[in-house]
Structure 1
Amino acid sequence: MLTDIHPKLPMRNQKKTRDFYINQLGFRPFGAASYPGYLMLQRDAIQLHFFEFSTLNPLENYGQIYLRTDAIEQLYQEFLDRKVEIHPNGQLSLKPWGQKEFAILDPDHNLLTFGQSL
């Protein structure tokens, strides 16, 4: 029945969101067309979709997703090398629930938490 999930997150500026996810996080465009007010990006098997919300106050944005990985330390180092700002409370660490995790905020303060089961 269910086969995939493609979270939709708010964005204020399509160009800034696209640049951040492509140049900082290593995503690539998904699909052959560009749509005004809508953005689709992919990295490996993960697709993220974004919808325009130009009046979004990033400090009031509660958008968040959890992305699982099988190479948490490698991904963390890749982001450090790309100068991605790690959330101040989201440094790579082992959590009591058996996950190794880190977190970042995108330009619109969508919280992206990356985790690997240990």
Structure 2
Amino acid sequence: MLTAIHPKLPMRNKAVTREFYCNQLGFEEFGSADFNGYLMVQKDQIQIHFFEFTTINPLENYGQVYIRTKDIETVYRNFLNNGVAIHPNGPLEIKPWGQKEFSILDPDHNLLTFGQSSDTF
């Protein structure tokens, strides 16, 4: 029986990825071992893993994750307060499919979309 999913995304530089996710997005590093070329972060019930891909061209990276939240306004406001850039094509808005969403890009251009169901806002 399936119980959870932990996406694996590419990263060029572990220190840069760690700084962005931990200091700007409020994640914490997960696990007690510091694996070479691998990083795991978590926040609340969300866990994201990263593998080293030093030669990836960020403009050709199509890594994407959709993260559901119950309080998108607070998440959005916290990111803005931490200087996180909102994707120019992903402002906070209610989409035609009824989700309130916004998107950001991480330093390697992995797209993170945050969404809240219309029945919870």
Please indicate, yes or no, whether the TM-score normalized by the shorter chain is above 0.5: yes
Which whole-Å deviations, capped at 9, do the CAs of 1:66-112 have from their partners, x for residues lacking one?
00000000100000111100000111000010100000000000000
Which whole-Å deviations, capped at 9, do the CAs of 1:20-45 have from their partners, x for residues lacking one?
00000000010111100000000000
| Runs of 4+ in structure 1 over 6 Å off | none
Q: Report the aligned-residue RMSD.
A: 0.4
Give 1:96's aligned residue.
Answer: 96
Give 1:80's aligned residue.
Answer: 80
TM-score, length of structure 2 as denominator length: 0.97
Give 1:62's aligned residue.
Answer: 62
- Partner Cα separation in structure 1 for residue 15 and residue 81 of structure 2: 23
Q: Within 5 A, what are the aligned runs for 1:7-86?
A: 7-86=7-86
Alignment partner of 1:31: what SS? Answer: coil
- How many residues get paired? 118
- Partner Cα separation in structure 1 for residue 20 and residue 73 of structure 2: 21
- Partner Cα separation in structure 1 for residue 106 and residue 70 of structure 2: 22
**Paired AA for residue 30 in structure 1:** F
- Partner Cα separation in structure 2 for residue 48 and residue 62 of structure 1: 16
* Residue ranges of structure 2 left out of the alignment (5+ in a row): none
* Residue ranges of structure 1 left out of the alignment (5+ in a row): none
Alignment partner of 1:73: what SS? Answer: helix
